[in-house]
Amino acid sequence: MASKHIIVDPITRIEGHLRIEAVIDENNVITDAFASSTMFRGIETILKGRDPRDAGLLAMRICGVCTGTHYQRSIEAVEDAFKVTIPKNARIVRNLIQGALYVHDHVVHFYHLHALDWVDITSALKADPKLAAAEALKWTDTPHGAGEGELRVIQERVGKFVKQGRLGIFSNAYWGNKHYKLSPEQNLIAVAHYLQALDMQRDMSKMMAIFGGKMPHPQSLVVGGVTCVQDIQNPMRIAEFKSLLNKARNFVKNAYLVDVLMAGTVYAGDALEGTGAGLKNYMSYGDFKLDDTGFYTSSQLFPSGVVLNGDLSTLHPLDQTKITEDVSHAWYEGANDKGLHPYDGVTNPKYTGLEKKADGYSYLKTDEKYSWIKSPLYDDTRMEVGPLARIAVGLAAGDERTTKYAVDFLTKLGKALGLEDAAPASVIFSTVGRTAARAIETELMADVMMEWVDELAANVASGDVSTWTEFDFDAVSKDARGFGMAEAPRGGLGHWVIIKEGKIENYQAVVPSTWNAAPRDYKNRMGAYESALIGTKVADPEQPLEILRTVHSFDPCIACAVHIVDTKGRELSSFKVNTSCAV
């Protein structure tokens, strides 16, 4: 059988610490895939011996993309260890900073990192703006910035972009590929929103800076609360936040969600076939505390739990003691078994390298160790995390809010597809579904944040300006352990800390990309990326749109410049994926 070996590889002078190797058969169907991270920093080791109150600042630097999330998780782990409950204002402020990150991150991901896998820019140039304006009205009564005149102006601007060859913006696209299915008019609408989103996301990131000080790497959280007292006391500041949020929310509802519905309808075939489904085991740590009863007792916006084999009728309660990190295929010392719980976790490097072959290229030794990412397991099972997992768990939990937003979307999708009923929930178990789940979640988040801003303003107005809970550091830090487990935009993110005599004795972080981008485990079972790629048909290996769609649908937070080369090492194509999240 003439199988080709594709290296999706970080030959990268731009950025890149993720490598994917895939094997395709004579029908161009992926039969095997391996994901590897090629960079190690040892942040968990660096944290040992430090003052736990300062850990958040350093732990945040694990990633410059979900940066505020690591910060908060680390601080929550210490608060959990110290049994400190934060004041109401601090809880809401943290929710607002995190919520703003979700809205910003998801919008940027869809339009600037993912849309061009579905949208063809050159086709947009052929559109009739008048027809496009009419098309926009088919999907919503209140389209965002998609009137005939606006679309005409955009079309002219895009014409200029294309003439200048502005690769930075459009570099990931394979213009004119026959696997783009949107009509020229639909493409024009999406492109218009793509450009409008560039401007929108600037304001979205300002929301985070209002309470966070700066972004990336905010600096306003401390063990026991938050520091931005002045910003919450100032009605102008809260009004500024609300006005930015309102603008963002309108865009999410009238552009983002509608575009995903439109594209989802056109590409529904892929979703119904379940292309890119992968593991179908979903886990959510749960997040966004809705009351002040304490970390793991309060009600949550996103419920926690586990869904197995895509079975939404059964929710398995989450038990953090069942998490282990297997190092059988990761460059660390350890036994060839399901590994240790993060409290007992060890991160001692044991690098065994790549294998240099006669063609001059180095290949992963996929039978043994081949990545700096460990393979986390939940109850000895591989898991996918992220927006899709959160929606699946929310549905299985019968969560009212999640169900409402998901059913809303599926009903509209069913109608657009001409079905009698809502589209089946199982469509979300796919590459397209992963992308839709992210949009559904963004709408939910933008709505609930409006409630939170009002809650914060009302609470401050009632005279409560408390932002920090006092604790006796010397007393509580003698012998303590805790964990901060919640969600990042990309999925479940947990920090575990053991504290002795005021210092960190052990620290382990299990991040979304640990779950999703992990290598094989000790039973040779695949990680989420690897698994989602299997069975995907790459119609044209020179333009591997299908690989891109699936890898992008996870919103990878690993630096990754991907190159596809054939067995002879001849480069077929190259494309940049995204940024970094290795520990």
Per the residue annotation, which of 150, 495, 560, 563 is the catalytic one? 560
Positions of E strands within 339-439:
355-356, 362-363, 375-378
Q: Where are the beta strands (DSSP E) in 316-454?
A: 323-326, 355-356, 362-363, 375-378
Stretch of residues binding another protein (CB under 8 A), selected from 39-47, 293-301, 379-387, 443-451: 39-47
Of residues 3 and 233, the one with the C-beta less far from another protein: 233
70 has catalytic annotation: yes
Binding-site member from 83, 166, 178, 404 for another protein (CB under 8 A): 166
Shortest Cβ 165–another protein spacing (Å): 6
Q: Which is nearer to another protein, 353 or 398 (CB)?
A: 353
Binding of another protein by 144 (CB under 8 A): no
Identify whether 66 is a catalytic site residue: yes
Least distance (Å) between residue 351 CB and another protein: 5
Instruction: Decide if residue 236 touches another protein (CB under 8 A).
Output: no
Shortest CB 38 distance to another protein, Å: 5
Q: Is 212 in the site for another protein (CB under 8 A)?
A: yes
Q: For 426, which DSSP code? A: G
Instruction: Give me 274's structure tokens.
Output: 């379940």
Q: Which of 126, 130, 138, 157 binds another protein (CB under 8 A)?
A: 157
Are β-strands 491-500 and 503-510 bridged in parallel, bridged antiparallel, or unpaired?
A: antiparallel
> Based on CB atoms, which residue is closest to another protein, 126 or 157?
157
* One of 23, 29, 43, 448 touching another protein (CB under 8 A): 43
Which residue has tokens 């075939």?
269
- Contact region for another protein (CB under 8 A) — 132-140, 255-263, 351-359, 374-382? 351-359
CA 148 from chain center: how many Å? Answer: 34
| Long-range contacts of 268-274, Cβ-Cβ distance < 8 Å, separation of 24 or more | 268/413, 268/417, 268/423, 268/427, 268/432, 270/430, 270/431, 270/432, 271/427, 271/428, 271/430, 271/431, 271/432, 271/433, 271/436, 272/427, 272/430, 273/430, 274/426, 274/429, 274/430
Nearer to another protein, 60 or 318 (CB): 60
Among 26, 168, 400, 463, binds another protein (CB under 8 A): 168
State the nearest-atom distance from the C-beta of 497 to another protein, in Å.
16
**CB 129, CB 188: distance < 8 Å:** yes
Asked if 557 is an active-site residue, the reply is yes
Q: Would you say 281 or 580 has its CB closer to another protein?
A: 580
CA distance 186 to 124: 8
Shortest reach from residue 68's CB to another protein, in Å:
11
490 noted as active-site residue: yes
Q: Please tell me whether residue 239 binds another protein under the rule CB under 8 A.
A: no
Residue 161 interacts with another protein (CB under 8 A)?
yes
Binding flag, residue 224, another protein (CB under 8 A): yes
Q: Vertex 360, ends 14 and 29: CA angle to 5°?
A: 75
- The residue annotated as part of the active site, out of 17, 19, 36, 66, is 66
Q: Which residues contact 181 (CB under 8 A, 6 or more apart)?
A: 266, 267
- Asked whether position 500 contacts another protein by CB under 8 A, the answer is no
Piece of 51-59, 281-289, 409-417, 483-491 that binds another protein (CB under 8 A): 51-59
Burial string for 93-128 (b: 16+ CB within 10 Å, else e) reads: bbbbbbbbbbbbbbbbbbbebbbbbbbbbbbbbebb
- State the nearest-atom distance from the C-beta of 173 to another protein, in Å: 13
Answer yes or no whether residue 88 interacts with another protein by CB under 8 A: no
Q: Select from 209-217, 310-318, 508-516, 521-529 the region that touches another protein (CB under 8 A).
A: 209-217
Residue with Cβ nearer another protein (79 or 270) = 79
| Alpha-carbon span 429 to 362, nearest angstrom | 35
**C-beta of 136: minimal distance to another protein in Å?**
21
Active-site position among 19, 36, 37, 70: 70
Catalytic residue among 316, 382, 390, 490: 490
**Contact between 301 and another protein per CB under 8 A:** no
Asked if residue 503 binds another protein (CB under 8 A), the reply is no
Q: Which of 88, 152, 181, 206 binds another protein (CB under 8 A)?
A: 206
* Structural contact between residues 351 and 37, judged by C-beta atoms closer than 8 angstroms: no
Active site residue 513: yes
What's the closest the beta carbon of residue 286 comes to another protein, in angstroms?
Answer: 26
User: How far are the Cα atoms of 160, 233, 368, 487 from residue 223, in angstroms, in the given order?
Assistant: 51, 20, 41, 19
Residue 107 binds to another protein (criterion: CB under 8 A): no
28-42 exposure pattern, b = at least 16 Cβ within 10 A, e = fewer: bebebbbbbbbebee
Q: Which range of residues in 124-132, 181-189, 223-231, 481-489 is near another protein by CB under 8 A?
A: 223-231
Q: Applying CB under 8 A, does 222 fall inside the site for another protein? A: yes
Residue type, 514: T
Cβ pair 509, 495 in contact under 8 A: yes
**Dihedral sign, CA of 293, 249, 62, 317?**
positive
Q: What are 535's two structure tokens?
A: 């069975």
- Cα distance between residue 383 and residue 179, in whole Å: 30
Residues forming beta bridges with residue 20, ordered by sequence position: 8, 35
Residues in 553-572 at the binding interface with another protein, rule: CB under 8 A: 559, 563, 565, 569-571
Q: How far apart are the first and last CA of the chain?
A: 39
Nearer to another protein, 221 or 532 (CB): 221
Dist CA 130 CA 133 (whole Å): 5
| DSSP code of residue 317 | P
The whole-angstrom separation of Cα 444 and Cα 437 is 11
Taking CB under 8 A as the criterion, which residues in 4-23 touch another protein? 7, 9-17
Among 320, 362, 411, 426, binds another protein (CB under 8 A): 362
461 binds another protein (CB under 8 A): no
Q: Tell me the catalytic residues.
A: 15, 63, 66, 70, 490, 513, 557, 560
